[in-house]
Structure 1
Amino acid sequence: MRMTAAVLHEHGLSMPYAESKPFSIEEVDLEGPGDGEVLVEVHSAGLCHSDLSVVGGLRKRALPVVGGHEGAGIVREIGAGVTHLQPGDHVVMTVAGGCGRCGYCINGRPALCDNVGASRAQGFLPNGARRLSLRGKPVFHYSGVSCYAQYSVTVQNSLVKIDPTIPLSVAAVFGCAVVTGAGAVFNAAAVRPGDTVAVVGLGGVGLVAVMAARIAGASRIIGIDLMDSKFQLAREVGCTHTLSASDPDLVAKIREISGGGVDYAFEISGSKAAVEPAIAITRKGGEIICVGAGRTGELYQFPHLQLVSEEKVLRGSLLGSGIGERDIPRYLGLYQDGQLPVEKLQSGTVTFAELNGAFDQLHDGGAIRQMLSPHA
């Protein structure tokens, strides 16, 4: 079938993206689903900072590639061997699924799955197939999903069936922002009632982490960002305190608020400059959870003696350190109960024609989560 899709042909074009147009809106050919694959009609796809990193060239992908990794839609066709989905099902599209067979998957860590990870990194579907082409030449899949398109073919393990009453524009953010932010709190850190928490970086993932910390019963939730304009929303969704990352007294103020340092500091931005203060604001025996991904190959420094003498833990959390098939339905239930108001994160809907300019807004901090409507 032929469909409209956003294709990235080159990394690192100059800003503003509204002028350089890193994404070319083109008519792309999509093959139907093979064994274990599903054709999804995409209704909503989120613009994420990890997409921005690829556009800017901080992290590379095989090119040309149809973008998008966080989405939601409706199943239209299933291939042989698909067992838990049927045409008409509403689904969240996510990169949090694994192969289900390797040691990492069996031990409950599908985000670390080598089988799926290798295929996605090379621009193929998790099963090694490729279904996209442009003018007769192959096009790569972005993280095995490629939802900046009217339709997507992916494997069934990248899809989670959801309640059809949930708006697809809301459901889409559960594929990455929610599973990553909430999972860092619930799975990686396992925050408990009374714990103190700092969240460095109040974008979509960071604000979800704030919501999750509130649900977990954290006594102090300190939001930190360079943009004061984010603070009102941060307080609405759970922050007890908000501080500017540029405040020269940041560390002292957080130590005072938290009584010596927080139990958990979540570093969401992936910024090299943010790691040092994240370590400094964490109490003895506390944990620094690094969630944001920086430039490929970049090295970060940390005070080794402090790490040892104060028994701090510095760790990573990929896609929420959990199991998408288990966690996404749970988080959707929290949304339906009003405990996880992720609709507050939405900064509007964009069309294909507006997609490049929307990445300028994301880069400048003027938007939290914009949603692409491929059929608008």
Structure 2
Amino acid sequence: MVRAAVLSEQGKPLQVTDIVLPEPGPGRVRVRVVAAGVCHSDLSLANGTLRQPVPAVLGHEGAGVVLSVGEGVTSVEHGDHVLLNWAPPCRSCWFCDAGEPYLCERAADAVEIPHAELADGTALYPGLGAGAFAEETIVPERGAVKIPHDIPLEQAAVLGCAVLTGAGAVFNTAQVRPGQSVVVVGVGGVGLSVLQAARIAGAGPIIAVDTSAAKADLALAQGATDFLVSDETTAKAIRKLTGGRGVDIAFECVGHPAAIRTAWSSSRRGGHVVVVGVGSAKAKVEFSALELYYFGRTLTGCLFGSTDPDVDVPRLLDLVRSGQLDVSSLVTATTDLDGIEAAFADMRDGRGARTLVRFNP
């Protein structure tokens, strides 16, 4: 038996209870979770914004230690430190062969496969294929990315989603160049990662926008040169900061139609708008045919930072070692399993950045 936070039904609170994990089958890896970040996608899975088979163990941004492996697993072994990868590429589909593993058509397969049971034998599904809100979990072999022992696992945990997504949006999707102006709309865990990566890339000015004035100090500490509280004058204020043109690149990290429009209106003619936030399928964003033509902007969706964890994780770890990337500063609160609902409330109210669930070593 291991303790886990279980979602019995979307729209209901998570309940901490004992679950039963089997021994890992072929191609599977059992991991003792050391830490897991509470991501907005977990909240979206819990409240029904995103589809999730239930009952389920949520949590997808985590790191831990390999306890055992199933038949055929060769990339990791007992005792290895690993980062959980919630979108493991198959390496054989059309998208993987095309060099776009973040669009792998089989990346979500593990979501549909039960990985554990409740005490009464009811099958449990892993949230986003990871099930990290538990003392232990079982993931596919490609869902466990081996990392060196010199990186503290509590720091590594947030790499699995917030940093890979945010930094990947800067380095891979937008390919920010030195001197380009940037705005980041929404400065939660992903948005703060975008700010840090934009600073590393040499962007400037770097403008942070959020609905909460309380985020100002946090955003400025991560690399923002300016901070604005979002209102109807935001786009005008951003143009004023950028010679009247608007920014070269706008990152939207909320997934809300109003935030996407703010990012769009804040970018210059010929600029690039990158939508990183995960929105609802029911939320619609409208553009006139004329503005699409006249402004000549590029609007790009960004899934998982356009990353390949096997390639990008080592690069990000090098930035962590050099001190350029400070992942620990993204964590503004820590809790245990019983505090996940409070962490969800903080996200809904715009308080802080990442809450980290810490498990006993």
TM-score of the aligned structures, taking structure 2 as reference length: 0.96
| 1:174 and 2:159 aligned | yes
Alignment gaps of 5+ in structure 2: none
1:106-162 deviations in Å (ceiling 9; x for gaps): 222122111223x24xx33xxxx4321111121111111101011111012112111
Counterpart of 2:304?
319
Cα distance change of structure 1 residues 258 and 96 upon mapping to structure 2, 3 Å threshold: farther
Counterpart of 2:336?
351
Counterpart of 1:196?
181
Question: Residues 148 and 374 of structure 1 are in contact (CA less than 8 Å); yes or no, is this contact kept in structure 2?
Answer: no
Distance 1:250 1:232 in 2: 18
**Shift in Å at residue 307 of structure 1?**
1.5
Question: Residues 59 and 131 of structure 2 are in contact (CA less than 8 Å); yes or no, is this contact kept in structure 1?
Answer: yes
**Shift in Å at residue 346 of structure 1?**
0.9
Aligned to 1:143, the other structure's residue is in SS state helix
Distance 2:106 2:83 in 1: 21
Counterpart of 2:114?
130
| 1:251 and 2:250 aligned | no
Question: Residues 96 and 323 of structure 1 are in contact (CA less than 8 Å); yes or no, is this contact kept in structure 2?
Answer: no
Aligned to 1:114, the other structure's residue is in SS state coil
Counterpart of 1:360?
345
| 1:76 and 2:67 aligned | yes
Aligned with 1:103 (options 94, 99, 107): 94
Distance 1:327 1:197 in 2: 22
Aligned with 1:301 (options 269, 275, 286): 286
Distance 1:279 1:172 in 2: 32
Q: Please say which of residues 290-299 and 190-199 is displaced more in the overlay.
A: 290-299
**Shift in Å at residue 320 of structure 1?**
0.5
Q: Which amino acid aligns with 1:59?
A: L
Counterpart of 2:212?
227
Question: Residues 42 and 152 of structure 1 are in contact (CA less than 8 Å); yes or no, is this contact kept in structure 2?
Answer: yes
Question: Residues 96 and 324 of structure 1 are in contact (CA less than 8 Å); yes or no, is this contact kept in structure 2?
Answer: no
**Shift in Å at residue 297 of structure 1?**
3.5
Question: Residues 43 and 375 of structure 1 are in contact (CA less than 8 Å); yes or no, is this contact kept in structure 2?
Answer: yes
TM-score of the aligned structures, taking structure 1 as reference length: 0.92
Aligned to 1:85, the other structure's residue is in SS state coil
Question: Residues 32 and 131 of structure 1 are in contact (CA less than 8 Å); yes or no, is this contact kept in structure 2?
Answer: no
Counterpart of 2:4?
5
Question: Residues 254 and 281 of structure 1 are in contact (CA less than 8 Å); yes or no, is this contact kept in structure 2?
Answer: yes
**Shift in Å at residue 96 of structure 1?**
3.5
Distance 1:43 1:237 in 2: 25
**Shift in Å at residue 24 of structure 1?**
0.9
Alignment gaps of 5+ in structure 1: 14-21
| 1:23 and 2:14 aligned | yes
**Shift in Å at residue 296 of structure 1?**
2.5
Distance 1:258 1:306 in 2: 20
Q: Which amino acid aligns with 2:18?
A: E
Counterpart of 2:262?
277
**Shift in Å at residue 283 of structure 1?**
0.7
Q: Which amino acid aligns with 1:249?
A: T
**Shift in Å at residue 374 of structure 1?**
3.3
Question: Residues 57 and 125 of structure 2 are in contact (CA less than 8 Å); yes or no, is this contact kept in structure 1?
Answer: yes
Distance 2:100 2:78 in 1: 29
**Shift in Å at residue 192 of structure 1?**
0.6
Aligned with 2:105 (options 97, 114, 119): 114
Distance 1:273 1:203 in 2: 16
Q: Which amino acid aligns with 2:139?
A: T
Question: Residues 215 and 352 of structure 2 are in contact (CA less than 8 Å); yes or no, is this contact kept in structure 1?
Answer: no
Aligned to 1:116, the other structure's residue is in SS state coil
Distance 1:310 1:158 in 2: 41
Aligned with 2:133 (options 134, 144, 148): 148
Identity %: 41
